[in-house]
Structure 1
């Protein structure tokens, strides 16, 4: 009798713990950088805009939950999620094995290739390690692009920046010879007045171990139910045409990728 009683109490305790862990997501705090155009950035009027933001809002609408956006510097964005400052990361974060050790992800919501940009007057002809040997290459720190540059362009001088805006200024002024980032980040900048100095030199072949499986929505370990909600919502807006409506405002091709 006593053993049965202990087992019954333990079972009830497990049910109670499971019930305490289950969450009903009515309001979701969405963490983003706010400094990575055209995906997420802040206008001069202080408005948070971009592809990530519109996709995030569409996903929340699809899930019938309230969204609240929180901006966070990129270097602290995963620690901020783990510390509970927000519930998700929706900031063009690639799903990589290293990051999956710390947090969980939804399925991808886009996947575009990395690229190298240079000044229009550059004499560089290609994007191989040999082509860029001895050159200064800029990249945003703690990104897949900086990791790729450091591991691939070993005969180049890799210069790291806290945001993409700083490396753009240094490329424009000639303080670096080339920069690496997502092709659409670079193309969006080059197509603007601010980026008229520069051009895309070429795209790079993604490396799964570094670039991951596309950009996903990050959640804390234990919140995989939230990641699944986002995955279902991504599939839904792909099917109902909302994704294409947003995509076509920013890109001339389907950013979702293969």
Structure 2
């Protein structure tokens, strides 16, 4: 009986000890950028970013929790230690690299422009778009892209993609710029039946960067290395492809 009690107590002690071996990480994401990160009907965070984050955490033997954060404040929140990493389709750019560190990319897709289905616009050139109003989410590479490449277009910035989608659908703006996957996902839904893709744009490396990566606080080389190893591992073992096929019928990893 004493041996049995000792064995039970030993097992009870071993479980918490094993749990304590796991790294505790808080992952920041936006929750308003389908199909990459958004809420389902039960208010659970889902999407490609979320599934990739879960796969990376599993590969790293980390216990991860998610923290939703508005896009405009997501980098300041990381720097203020509200969470440990951002996995929210954040493009790796030189400007952001001055205040956070990035891992290797985990996907890379180009920007695009959407318009109403009955729009008279037929091409996405600076000349064709100079007298229109274009919407973009603020503090994004897509807003920066429009500012640089469509300098004579009136640019209207929004706090979230849902806001510019509503204005485009109602005709309050003439076009919207965002990631081609985000716009395609929207126009293929009931809410986006109003609109179409006008054009997919050529990526500007200076603005769009080298793809989307995991952002971490500056100087955390250990965590950066663990994420990089995990990204390489899920790419190699097929986990990445399994997740990708849930959302896309093409390769979003890019060149």
Q: TM-score, normalised to structure 1's length?
A: 0.90
State the Cα deviation string for residues 158-192 of structure 1 (Å, max 9, x = none): 00000000000000000010000000000001111
Hey, what's the Cα distance between the residues in 1 that align with 2:165 and 2:66?
26
Hey, what's the Cα distance between the residues in 1 that align with 2:28 and 2:151?
33
Asked if residue 107 in structure 1 is aligned to residue 115 in structure 2, the reply is no
Hey, what's the Cα distance between the residues in 2 that align with 1:151 and 1:248?
34
Query: After the TM superposition, which segments of 4 or more aligned residues of structure 1 sit over 3 Å from their partners?
Result: none
Hey, what's the Cα distance between the residues in 2 that align with 1:25 and 1:108?
25
| Residue number in structure 2 paired with 1:60 | 57
Hey, what's the Cα distance between the residues in 1 that align with 2:76 and 2:198?
34
Q: How do 1:1-258 and structure 2 match up within 5 A?
A: 26-258=23-255
Hey, what's the Cα distance between the residues in 2 that align with 1:232 and 1:128?
41
Please report how far the alpha carbon of residue 224 of structure 1 lies from its aligned counterpart in structure 2 after TM superposition: 2.1
Please report how far the alpha carbon of residue 153 of structure 1 lies from its aligned counterpart in structure 2 after TM superposition: 1.0
SS in 2 for 1:89: strand
State the Cα deviation string for residues 102-126 of structure 1 (Å, max 9, x = none): 0000000000010000010001011
Q: Which runs of 5+ in 2 are unaligned?
A: 1-20
Hey, what's the Cα distance between the residues in 1 that align with 2:95 and 2:45?
28
State the Cα deviation string for residues 11-44 of structure 1 (Å, max 9, x = none): xxxxxxxxxxxxx970110000000000000123
Hey, what's the Cα distance between the residues in 2 that align with 1:147 and 1:78?
17
Please report how far the alpha carbon of residue 201 of structure 1 lies from its aligned counterpart in structure 2 after TM superposition: 0.6
SS in 2 for 1:93: strand
Aligned length: 235
Hey, what's the Cα distance between the residues in 2 that align with 1:38 and 1:68?
20
State the Cα deviation string for residues 208-243 of structure 1 (Å, max 9, x = none): 111000000000012122111111111111111110
Please report how far the alpha carbon of residue 128 of structure 1 lies from its aligned counterpart in structure 2 after TM superposition: 1.2
Hey, what's the Cα distance between the residues in 2 that align with 1:254 and 1:227?
24
Q: TM-score, normalised to structure 2's length?
A: 0.91
| Residue number in structure 2 paired with 1:12 | none
Hey, what's the Cα distance between the residues in 2 that align with 1:27 and 1:121?
51
SS in 1 for 2:106: coil
SS in 2 for 1:115: strand
